[in-house]
Amino acid sequence: MNLMVESNLFESVKKNLCSCSADLALDENIEALLKTPRREVSVAIPVRMDTGKIQVFQSFRVQYNDALGPMKGGIRYHPDETIDTIRGLAAIMTWKCALHDLPLGGAKGGVICNPKALSERELERLSRSYVQEMFPYIGPDRDIPAPDVYTDARVMAWMMDEYSRIAGKTIFGSFTGKPVLLGGSEGRGEATALGGWYAIREAMHRRERDFSGITVAVQGFGNVGAHAALLGQELFGARVVAVSDSRGAIYNPDGLAVRDLVEHKKKTGSVIRFPGATNIPGEEILTLPVDVLIPAALENTITSRNADQVRAAVVAEFANGPTSHEADEILFGSGITVLPDILVNAGGVIVSHFEMIQNFTMDHWDRNKVARKLEGKMVGSFKTVSDLAENNNVSLRKAAYTLAVGRVAGAMRLRGWA
């Protein structure tokens, strides 16, 4: 096994596409287009730091496919960002939007930086500079960015303001994931986690399993992971027994007080040394005997090297691309249900689509309406994917990719692209 190739997210995503291309009878022209981003923008952004010195940050925007509509995708700030990761994430967003019947294509952006080492003023200057460089390629009818790793509503507010300044008028619909006061949607912050829990609930029902009291381990305790743990415990009655972050993991088989844990991390900067829990190495969280394992951090967490050690009954991919193609085959062969990223973590882009609708119509929906509409989308998509998987004895990932890729390919044919 070539671990370098396996760790390349874009290559892994293309393997998932290839696994369903024969079933869809894709001709070679369509398949070639589906494996290739339509546009890639790479820009070196000069930013004046608080010291007065200029620092140059490499940035990307990959616009993968817009056959179904304007492209959509987050912007992430991370010191280890790569163009291949951005390509893979843009492809994943393409299939995610298609799977959930959103009239959107897929894109993704990134800046190679360590946001934790930047002051607030430096972060704002970087964010505004990114928009200045990308302005010709983004917009409400072209490509609508959103938050991702180490970006948030505050960053989206700066970016929307900068886009509006350049355009000469306020354009709330240029970005999603904004503060509610600036055209953001109620419920956007927890949307990915809430949508994921709707999918987990449906999966448990399919397994004829009592949902309340299930044990859960959450790998990654950022925005998505923290909401996953909180909602799982307080709204769905799950017992969260383990969580991890970049500094390690904690475990208590009797359950963790998640709300107290959130406060502990705010004060200390990490989940480790939480009272009443045992510190364990971060990688051990993947091998705990739990009902549900939620990878909620970065890509390539579960690979061929550790897939055979996973003991969860269900792996719910709240992160994008946490399971390699090779690992997915191992888990499926072991009888572990994997809820794939394009199915289970789409709550963020679904509610971003709701935000776009609210911006376009100058409307505002309350949190209950957003949650009801999100639940309807997630339950409907889960049923469609599950029925296809069961009827054809394939994994949920292959069923999800078959549906999503088929819809994008169909749109491309209708538009005469190949």
Q: Which helix (H) or strand (E) holds 213?
A: none
> Which among 114, 318, 89 is positioned nearest to 200, based on CA atoms?
318
> Which among 70, 60, 74, 91 is positioned nearest to 176, based on CA atoms?
74
Count the neighbouring beta carbons within 10 Å of the beta carbon of residue 276: 12
In DSSP terms, which residues pair with 338 in a beta bridge? 315
Which DSSP letter does residue 320 get?
A: S
Pair 177, 192: CB distance under 8 Å: no
Residue type, 72: K
> Which among 203, 210, 172, 244 is positioned nearest to 344, based on CA atoms?
203
Q: Is 108 a catalytic residue?
A: yes
CA 44, 37, 411, 23 torsion-angle sign: negative
In DSSP terms, which residues pair with 216 in a beta bridge? 240, 292
- What is the rounded distance in angstroms from the CA atom of residue 219 to the CA atom of residue 294? 6
- What is the rounded distance in angstroms from the CA atom of residue 115 to the CA atom of residue 359? 29
* Lookup: tokens for 332: 């499926």
In DSSP terms, which residues pair with 361 in a beta bridge? none
Query: String of b and e for 88-112 (b: at least 16 CB within 10 Å)?
Result: bbbbbbbbbbbbbbbebbbbbbbbb
**Catalytic residue, candidates 108, 178, 265, 377:** 108
> Which among 251, 243, 343, 328 is positioned nearest to 15, based on CA atoms?
328
- What is the rounded distance in angstroms from the CA atom of residue 405 to the CA atom of residue 418? 15
- What is the rounded distance in angstroms from the CA atom of residue 269 to the CA atom of residue 39? 38
- Annotated catalytic residues are 108
